[in-house]
Amino acid sequence: MSVDVNELVKSIAAEVLKQLQGGDKRECVLVLAERDCLVAEKVRDCVGGEYEYFFYGEDSPCAGFSRYIVPSLCVCEMSDLAVGKAQGRIMTEVLRLLLLGRTVEVIEFGYQAYAQTAPGPLYALYEAHEKTLAGFGLRKFQPKAPETFRFREHLVTEKVVSNVAAQGASVLIVSPSAQVTPLAAEAARNLNINISKTL
C-alpha cells in the first residue's frame, strides 16, 4: 500500500488548523441575499459581530447555521411566500427552510416603507401577510436587548427608568454623583431595574 505524502501532509495540516481554530469558533449565520458590502454592514450592525456570516451560495466550513437572516423582503416576495410560492433561487431557499421548520428572520419588511401613503386596506393586507409568514416561521428580526444601559446625565427620572425597561435592560449604570428622583427609584423597583452608581 503506497501513501501519497502530499495528501497526508494536507490532511494533517487541515486537522491541525481545525483544532487551532476550534477554541475561537463562532456560530455561523446564513444571510439569504447576494453578498454586497452595504448589506453585509447592515446585517452585522443589526445582528452583531459575534457571528461568522456567510451569504447565500458561498461555500461555508460550518456544519450548520444557527440563524437564517433575510436583510429585506419586498412586497412581491411577501405575497408569494404568504401563499406558499417562491420566485428565484434565494426565495426558493427561504421557502425550503420554512418547510424544514427553520426560523427565518427578516430585518426589514418592504411594505412598511409605505405606511404613510398606502391605502388602509392594502397596507392591512401586507400586515396580514406578515402575520401569516410569522406562522410559517418567518419572523421580524428582534435585536438582542442590552443587559445594561449607561446614562451619563446627572438627574435620573422616572422617564429614564421607563425607557431603560422598554429597551429590555435590567441594569441602569449612572455616575456616582447622579441624583435619582424618588419616582425613578420606585419605578426601578417596580420594573426590576437595578440602578448602579459606578464610574
* Averaged pLDDT of the chain: 87
Read off the amino acid at residue 111.
Y
Residue 20, in any domain of the structure: no
Residue 76, in any domain of the structure: yes
Least confident of 128-132, 163-167, 183-187: 163-167
Q: What does the angle CA 83 – CA 28 – CA 22 come to, to the nearest 5 degrees?
A: 155
Rg (CA), the chain: 24
Question: Region 174-180: what's the mean pLDDT?
Answer: 90
Most confident among 93-97, 150-154, 187-191 (mean pLDDT):
93-97
Question: Region 37-50: what's the mean pLDDT?
Answer: 86
**Residue written as cell 421548520?**
101
Give yes or no: residues 120 and 154 share one domain: no
Give yes or no: residues 188 and 133 share one domain: no
Residue 5, in any domain of the structure: no
pLDDT tens, residue by residue, 51-90: 899 999 988 888 789 999 999 999 999 999 999 999 999 9
Residue 21, in any domain of the structure: no
Residue 8, in any domain of the structure: no
Q: How confident is the model at residue 113 (pLDDT cuts 50, 70, 90)?
A: very high
Name which residue leads in pLDDT, 198 or 6.
198
Residue 10, in any domain of the structure: no
Q: How confident is the model at residue 48 (pLDDT cuts 50, 70, 90)?
A: confident
pLDDT of residue 47: 85
Least confident of 33-37, 62-66, 92-96: 62-66
**Segments forming the whole domain that contains residue 118:** 26-140
Residue 12, in any domain of the structure: no
pLDDT of residue 16: 64
Whole-number Å distance between alpha carbons of 50 and 62: 15
Residue 5 has pLDDT above 80, yes or no: no
Residue 8 has pLDDT above 70, yes or no: no
pLDDT of residue 85: 95
pLDDT of residue 3: 56
Residue 44 has pLDDT above 80, yes or no: yes
pLDDT tens, residue by residue, 146-159: 678 888 888 999 99
Give the count of domains, the chain: 2
- Please check whether residue 82 is in contact with residue 73, taking contact to mean a CB–CB distance below 8 angstroms: no
Residue 164: count of CB within 10 angstroms of its CB: 25
Give yes or no: residues 136 and 66 share one domain: yes
